A and B are shown apart, each in its own frame.
Chain A
Amino acid sequence: MNELPDPTSQAALVRKRQRARATVLAIILFAFVILVFAISIAKIKAGMPGMPHQ
């Protein structure tokens, strides 16, 4: 027999998943900012072409 899910626990589960996804996305975005900064430093140090001030 199929039972309807409890709306309260369903809403809690939705919020839990949304929070987990938001946390993972925040970590990824933060890591990406660090990566872009590190790439910029590495390119400046290596004197690679394509940098605006070269």
Chain B
Amino acid sequence: MTVVTVSNPSLPADWRDFFALTKPRVMRSVVFTALCGMLAAPVSLPPVLAFTAILAIALAAGAAGALNQWYESDIDALMKRTAKRPLPAGKMERETALQFGVALGVFSVLLMGLAINILAAVLLAVSILFYVLVYTVGLKRLTPQNIVIGGAAGAFPPLIGWVAATGSVSALPLLMFAIIFLWTPPHSWALALLIRDDYAKGGVPMLPVVASAKTTRAQMLFYTVLMTAAAISPWPLGLAGSLYGIVASVLSAIFLGLTVWVVVQRAETPATMKAERWLFVYSIGYILAIFATLATDRCLA
């Protein structure tokens, strides 16, 4: 692994660089889905404890992001999308990022364990370790299925939110886990098709880099069909009401329609990949809307 050195070692990193290391955008969606998992639970926590649980989940996401950037600083330096991050930009020493990530991760798990419950803390620790060791260290540079298996890391937050409130796991949080897990491949591959050259430059074996666009699109469709089934299933299973069922059906049908458009369009260059662009943007709104509707539906029930 290439080691990126800092441009000015005597200059301490700015606090904003530490903040950037936590991947605030990812953290925002983690907090949102965790909150939805917590709101969907049949038990409600006192507001202070609910805030603490969400804070612990956010800090764990930040720790995972920091450790991911620590390990991937060599790849990040090669890719246009990530070259301005604190480590490849030379704003911080790698060792500092490692210490920050480990400290934040340990603190978040201890906070969850001491203030909320042990099961939530264990799941939180597993989610950090899964993202860092299984996805970042193990899979990302090894296999084009990296984001399929690694997608599990991003699927933990609603499950942990639910467990923080109830102290146990049941069918609905597992379905919420499944929705994000199955949503990750079409979402990530839509972006990967658009910035295929950037991933190739970084040596990351994303599916569009090592396989044809046709293969990628076929796999996107496969996972979208599974995701649609998972997203609608809480309704017929009696775990959510008709409000969620109708909204999930309509939104998933649009998602499926956009994926079919991606498959039939067969654009070759990023400039002409209009369908992929639409799908990527829509997929972000989709996951937020699905979880917001599920939480609303369960709160109204």
A33 within 8 A of B: no
Q: A21-B15, A39-B115 are in contact. Are A10 and B10 (CB under 8 A)?
A: yes
Q: Find chain B residues with CB under 8 A from A17 CB.
A: 11-14
B12 with A18: CB separation less than 8 A: yes
Task: Give residues 38-81 of B contacting A (CB, 8 Å).
Answer: 46-49, 52, 55
Q: Find chain A residues with CB under 8 A from B49 CB.
A: 39, 42-43, 46
Give CA–CA (A5, B7) in the complex, Å: 12
Task: Give residues 5-26 of A contacting B (CB, 8 Å).
Answer: 5, 10, 13-14, 17-18, 20-21, 24
A24 with B48: CB separation less than 8 A: no
What total of A-B pairs shows CB separation below 8 Å? Answer: 35
Which residue of chain B lies nearest to A22 when distances are taken between CB atoms in the complex? B15
Q: Which of B12, B46, B47, B52 contacts A14 (CB 8 A)?
A: B12
Q: Find chain B residues with CB under 8 A from A29 CB.
A: none
Task: Give residues 75-131 of B contacting A (CB, 8 Å).
Answer: 115
Q: What number of A residues sit within 8 Å (CB to CB) of B?
A: 17
Give CA–CA (A44, B46) in the complex, Å: 11
Over the window 7-35 of chain B, the binary record of Cβ atoms lying under 8 Å from chain A Cβ atoms (1 yes, 0 no) is 01011111100000000000000000000
Q: Which of B11, B12, B15, B115 contacts A24 (CB 8 A)?
A: B15
Give CA–CA (A18, B15) in the complex, Å: 9
A14 with B11: CB separation less than 8 A: yes
Q: Find chain B residues with CB under 8 A from A39 CB.
A: 48-49, 52, 115
A10 with B48: CB separation less than 8 A: no
Q: Find chain A residues with CB under 8 A from B52 CB.
A: 35, 39
Which residue of chain B lies nearest to A36 when distances are taken between CB atoms in the complex? B115
Q: Find chain B residues with CB under 8 A from A35 CB.
A: 48, 52, 55
State the Cβ distance, A16 to closest chain B Cβ, in Å: 9
A20 with B46: CB separation less than 8 A: no
Interface residues of B (CB under 8 A from A): 8, 10-15, 46-49, 52, 55, 115
Give me 29 A-to-B residue pairs in the complex whose CB atoms sit less than 8 angstroms apart, sorted by A's number: A5-B8, A10-B10, A10-B11, A14-B10, A14-B11, A14-B12, A17-B11, A17-B12, A17-B13, A17-B14, A18-B12, A20-B14, A20-B15, A21-B12, A21-B14, A21-B15, A35-B48, A35-B52, A39-B48, A39-B49, A39-B52, A39-B115, A41-B48, A42-B46, A42-B48, A42-B49, A45-B46, A46-B46, A46-B49
